Amino acid sequence: MTPLRTLLRVLRTRITARATITVVGVVGVLGVLFLGAALGIQSRDEAKRQGQRLEELMSTVERATQIACFINDTQLAQEVVEGLLGNRIVRDVRIIASDTTVLAAGGAGGQGGDTAVSRDIKSPFDASKSICRIFMVPDQTQIDHLVADASRFLSAALVLQLLGIGLCVILVTVKFVTRPIAGLSRKLGELEAETGQKLDVPRGNHHDEIGRLVLSVNAMIDRLMQSLTEERRLRQLHAMEERRYSLLFDNVEAGIFEIDHQGRLVSANAAFQRLFELESIDRGQQVPMLSERVRGLAVPVPMNSNPRTQLELHLSARGADERWVAISLSWLKEDHLQGVVHDITARKRAAEQAEELATTDPLTGYGNRLGFERELSAASDSGSERAILLVDFDHFKQINDTYGHHVGDEALIEMARRLHRLLGAGDYLARLGGDEFVMLLSSRTHRDALDAMLVSLRKACETPVLTIENTHVYMGVSVGIAVLGRDACEGSRALQLADKAMYAAKRAGRNTWRYYDDT
Amino acid sequence: MRWLRTLLIALLLTLTPALASANLVVVVSADSQVQSLSYDDVVNIFMGRLSTLPGGEPVVPVDYMPLRASFYKALVNRELADINAWWARLVFSGRGSPPRKSEGFDETIELISHNPGVLGYLDKSSVDPRVRVVYEFGGRS
């Protein structure tokens, strides 16, 4: 690591270093500025002082110079010059008489007297009369040297001051800031806040910022403790809720499940598993019957417009295990549905039983008028041909009147059985009322087949219906035939046509049949 | 009133030199070539700056002691102590010697009249044909 990076690291990690560098830097810059100003002033002062000294020197030697000039004494003049040159700050001295002869000169020589100080020397006996002039050139290097000496002292003083300030800042920062903070940091590290432990205010910091920092930290620990307690309580509450929900989810009668739009199961409860008779609940598995229905659902747009879809599934084949379920599906999000499954088998069965009761003739056990109308309506909707055979027993009223209703009923039941024996698959028999029966045939609609059937019916009627007190009771039938889908497209119309045909058969002498299209 | 007259005479005697200064004249021998001297010449010669006359002849100044104080007072406006100090300094540094001293009037006038190179001073009233006035105080401008 380079020294610079080390320094940067120290600056980043040590407040003391940063404070010291900053303070010393600022003081240093200010010091350098002040030093510069001071040196400038000093240099000027020193130059002025040296000027004054030169003037004083000249005043000192003025009298001797006066004498030397007055009596043209070059020797004395030279003595004066040498005497002046004995001063370090004097570089050159010249004494020039008023007639421009050089009385005496001395010094290092060099460049002319541009900076020279000069004074007119008057005659000792006549102040108005100038007799010579003395020139003195100050030794600038020597003066600079003096200034430099003084500057060196100032600089040394400044550096010492900087060192002192730096040391003070380090000591003060370490004592009042860094050490208390480091101590707090260490204690904070060791603190077990979850037990509610608190920091102690360092001695002597009770009323200052560090004391307030400790109080703030302690307040924060308090808040932390409160929120920890609160969170713990909420977590317990949540666990309780979860458990409550889980119990509900697992033990509810209804099946609850979540499924994605591809029909893959996401989750389901035990009731769901039971209802769908699944081996296990696996995430992603396809559920028979349910999954294909789910894939067929359109995602509602917007999502919240159609929150619920109702389905009914017939889960297993008719019989003892037959099961119906109702499913209510709600969209959780675009590719997720939640559903509730109810077993509606019992309800379904009850409905079926009610339906059967409503459409069954209680006497014969076959269909009644309502049952027939439903069958007829379904048949006319399907569009396929059906033969409608309207059957009326001949002289039934006489049997009723002769032997009583009970016997009449017996006869009706026997006749109904005979009619039923003629039926093929998909054919329907109903008693419309009284002695009027109707047969709705899909197994045969062509005249040949119908003729053959009706021939066998007439044959069957040759056997007595009842035998009462050794009396054979015979009953003939008159049959009117119309074909739905051929003679008429509408069920009720076809029935009317069959009725007409039936009356035609009766008119023709009973115990016979007539096709509508023959009438 | 005799004491008053005596006092006045004494006062007059005391003031004589001061009063006399206006009547001092610088003289040379009547045989000298020098006709007159400037004020500067007189100062230079008596104060030791020049040892020759403007003509080039050597010159020796003579102090006529009774009038010495008046003369230097008139010449350079200095007291005798200053003049003595001046000469002491010059003598000390080996530069020349002060003017010769002459006490009596006869001795002085003899000295001047017999030596053409001697320059002296007298009261104007005591000037006689043996000497020539070359500079007179009061004519200075």
CB-CB: which of A72, A76, A126 is closest to B93? A76
Name the interface residues of B facing A (CB cutoff 8 Å). 43, 47-49, 75-76, 78, 86, 89-90, 93, 95-96
- Greater model confidence, A377 or A109: A377
Question: CB-CB: which of B76, B89, B90 is closest to A125?
Answer: B76
Query: Is the model's pLDDT at A28 over the cut of 90?
Result: no
Chain B interface test: which of A71, A78, A82, A123 (most B C-beta within 10 Å): A71
Give A122→chain B minimum CA distance, Å: 13
Count contacts between A and B (CB, < 8 Å): 27
Closest chain B residue to A76, measured at CA: B93
3-state secondary structure A418-462: HHHHCCCCCCEEEEEECCEEEEEECCCCCHHHHHHHHHHHHHHCC
Q: Which of A76, A125, A126 sits opposite B95 (nearest CB)?
A: A76
For residue A70, the model assigns a pLDDT of 87
Task: Write down the pLDDT at residue B81.
Answer: 93
CB contact under 8 A, A124 and B89: no
Given a cut of 80, whether residue A299 has pLDDT beyond it is no
How far apart (Å, rounded) are the C-alpha atoms in residues A165 and B39? 75
Confidence band (pLDDT; 50, 70, 90) for B19?
A: very low
Sheet hosting strand A126-138, strand order edge to edge: A102-107, A90-97, A126-138, A117-123
Instruction: For chain A, give the mean pLDDT.
Output: 86
Percent of chain A with pLDDT over 90: 18
Query: From the CA of B116, how many Å to the nearest CA of chain A?
Result: 24
> Which residues of chain A lie closer than 8 angstroms to B92, CB-CB?
none
pLDDT tens string A180-207: 888 888 888 888 767 778 888 888 888 8
Q: Which residues of B touch A125 (CB under 8 A)?
A: 43, 47, 75-76, 78
Residue A146 banded pLDDT, cuts 50, 70, 90 = confident
CB contact under 8 A, A71 and B43: no
Interface test with A, best of B72, B77, B84, B93 (most A CBs within 10 A): B93
Q: Which of A62, A66, A125, A126 to mutate to test the interface with B (most CBs of B within 10 A)?
A: A125
Categorize the per-residue pLDDT at B27 as very low, low, confident or very high, splitting at 50, 70 and 90. Answer: very high
Three-state SS string over A315-375 comes to CCCCCCCCCEEEEEEEEEECCEEEEEEEECHHHHHHHHHHHHHHCECCCCCCECHHHHHHH
Please say whether the structural domain B2-136 has been given the CATH code 3.40.190.10.
yes
Residue in B47, B90, B93 closest to A125 by CB? B47
A-side interface with B, Cβ within 8 Å? 67, 70-73, 75-76, 123-126
Name B120's bridge partners: B27
Domains of chain B, by residue range, sit at: 2-136
Q: How confident is the model at residue B80 (pLDDT cuts 50, 70, 90)?
A: very high
Between helix B68-76 and helix B2-21 the angle, nearest 10°, is 50
d(CA A70, nearest CA chain B) in Å? 6
CA distance linking residue B12 with residue A157, whole number of Å? 75
| Residues A73, A254: Cα–Cα separation, whole Å | 143
CB pair distance less than 8 Å for A125 and B95:
no
Among chain B residues, the shortest Cα distance to A124 is held by B76
> Which residues of chain A are within 8 Å of residue B90 when distances are taken between CB atoms?
67, 71
Q: Is A138 a residue whose pLDDT tops 50?
A: yes
Please give the pLDDT value at position A302. Answer: 66
Q: What is the assigned CATH class of domain A255-347?
A: alpha beta
Residue A65 has pLDDT above 50, yes or no: yes
Backbone angles phi, psi at A100, to 5 degrees: 65, 5
Measured between alpha carbons, how far is B59 from B26 in angstroms, rounded to an integer? 13
Q: Which of B38, B43, B52, B72 to mutate to test the interface with A (most CBs of A within 10 A)?
A: B43
Q: Which residues contact A110 (CB under 8 A, 6 or more apart)?
A: A91, A92
Give the pLDDT of residue B7.
64
DSSP letter (8 states) at residue A202: P
Pairing of the two strands A308-314 and A324-333? antiparallel
- Please state the rounded mean pLDDT for residues A25-50: 84
Determine the average pLDDT of the residues in B71-85: 91
- CATH no., domain A361-518: 3.30.70.270
**DSSP annotation of B97:** -
| Best mutation target, B49, B73, B84, to test chain A (most A CBs within 10 A) | B49
Instruction: Check if the beta carbon of residue B58 is closer than 8 Å to that of residue B117.
Output: yes
Say whether B75 and A125 touch across the interface (CB within 8 A). Answer: yes
Report the pLDDT value the prediction gives residue B20, as an integer from 0 to 100: 44
A308 φ, ψ to 5°?
Answer: -145, 140
Residues 6 or more apart whose Cβ sits within 8 Å of residue A494: A376, A380, A386, A388, A482, A483, A484, A487, A488
With beta carbons under 8 A apart, name residues in chain B contacting A124.
47, 86
User: Of the ranges A13-22, A70-79, A316-325, B94-103, which one carries the lowest mean pLDDT score?
Assistant: A316-325
* Cβ <8 Å between B43 and A125: yes
> Domain coordinates of chain A in residue numbers?
3-144, 191-247, 255-347, 361-518
Over residues A108-132, mean pLDDT:
78
Total Cβ atoms within 10 A of residue A127:
8
Q: Which residues are within 8 A (CB) of A269 and not within 5 positions of it... i.e. 6 or more apart? A: A249, A250, A252, A255, A256, A257
**Residue A288 in 3-state DSSP?**
coil
| Least confident residue range of A143-157, A271-285, A313-327, A336-350 | A313-327
Q: By percentage, how much of chain A surpasses pLDDT 70?
A: 96
Does the pLDDT of residue A474 top 90, yes or no?
A: no
Q: Which residues of A touch B95 (CB under 8 A)?
A: 71, 73, 76
Nearest to B90 among A71, A72, A75 (CB): A71
Instruction: Tell me if B47 and A70 make a contact (CB, 8 A cut-off).
Output: yes
pLDDT of residue A304: 64
* Cα gap B64→B72, rounded to integer Å: 11
Q: Provide the terminal-to-terminal Cα distance of chain B, rounded to the nearest Å.
A: 45
Own/partner long-range contacts of A364-368 (Cβ < 8 Å, ≥24 apart): A364/A412, A364/A413, A364/A416, A364/A431, A365/A416, A366/A416, A366/A420, A366/A429, A366/A430, A366/A431, A367/A428, A367/A429, A367/A430, A367/A431, A368/A430, A368/A431, A368/A432
Please tell me the number of Cα atoms within 13 Å of B30 on its side-chain side: 7
Amino acid A426 reads G
Residue B17 has pLDDT above 70, yes or no: no
Average pLDDT over residues B43-51: 88
Q: Which residues of B touch A126 (CB under 8 A)?
A: 43, 76
Beta-strand ranges (E) seen in A228-347 are 255-260, 265-268, 308-314, 324-333, 336-343
Q: Which has the higher per-residue pLDDT, A120 or B3?
A: A120
Which residue type, as a one-letter code, is found at position A360?
Answer: T
The pLDDT of residue A188 is: 85
Residues A302 and A294: beta-carbon distance below 8 Å: no
What sign has the CA pseudo-torsion B135, B137, B138, B141? positive
First CA to last CA distance, chain A: 121
Minimum distance, in Å, between the CA of residue A128 and any CA atom of chain B: 12
ipTM of the complex: 0.75
User: Encoding tokens for residue A357?
Assistant: 């009761």
Tell me the pLDDT tens digit for each residue of A366-409.
999 999 999 898 888 888 889 999 998 888 888 888 888 888 89
Shortest CA distance from A72: residue in chain B: B49
Residue closest to A474 by CA, chosen among A458, A453, A452, A456: A458
A137-155: average pLDDT: 81
CA A449, CA A427: separation in Å to the nearest integer?
14
What is the C-alpha separation between B61 and B40, in angstroms, rounded? 14
Question: How far off is chain B from A117, nearest CA to CA, in Å?
Answer: 27
Contact state of B76 with A126 under an 8 Å Cβ cutoff:
yes
Q: Which residues contact B40 (CB under 8 A, 6 or more apart)?
A: none
Instruction: Tell me whether residue B61 is exposed, middle or buried, using C-beta atoms within 10 angstroms of its C-beta: 0 to 12, 13 to 18, 19 or more.
Output: buried
pLDDT tens, position by position, A339-368: 999 888 888 889 889 988 999 999 999 999
Of A71, A124, A126, the CB nearest to B95: A71
Q: Same fold for the domain at A255-347 and the one at A361-518?
A: no
- pLDDT mean over A445-461: 90
Q: Specify whether the CB–CB gap between A73 and B95 falls below 8 A.
A: yes
Which distant-in-sequence residues (6+ apart) come within 8 Å of B118 by Cβ?
B28, B29, B59, B60, B61, B62, B111, B112
Residue A125 and residue B90: Cβ atoms within 8 Å? no
**CATH code of the region A3-144:** 3.30.450
Nearest of A452, A459, A467, A470 to residue A511 by alpha carbon: A459
Neighbours of A448 (CB within 10 A): 8
pLDDT tens-digit map of A438-447: 999 988 888 8
> Are the Cβ atoms of A126 and B78 closer than 8 angstroms?
no
φ and ψ of A203, to 5 deg: -60, 135
In chain A, what residues touch B73 (CB-CB under 8 Å)? Answer: none
Determine the distance in angstroms separating the CA of B40 from the nearest CA of chain A, rounded to an integer: 9
Burial A395-414 (b: 16+ CB within 10 A, else e): bbeebbeebeeebbebbbbb
Q: Do B49 and A71 touch (CB under 8 A)?
A: yes
Q: Which tokens belong to A204?
A: 């002597």
Residue A237: predicted pLDDT: 94
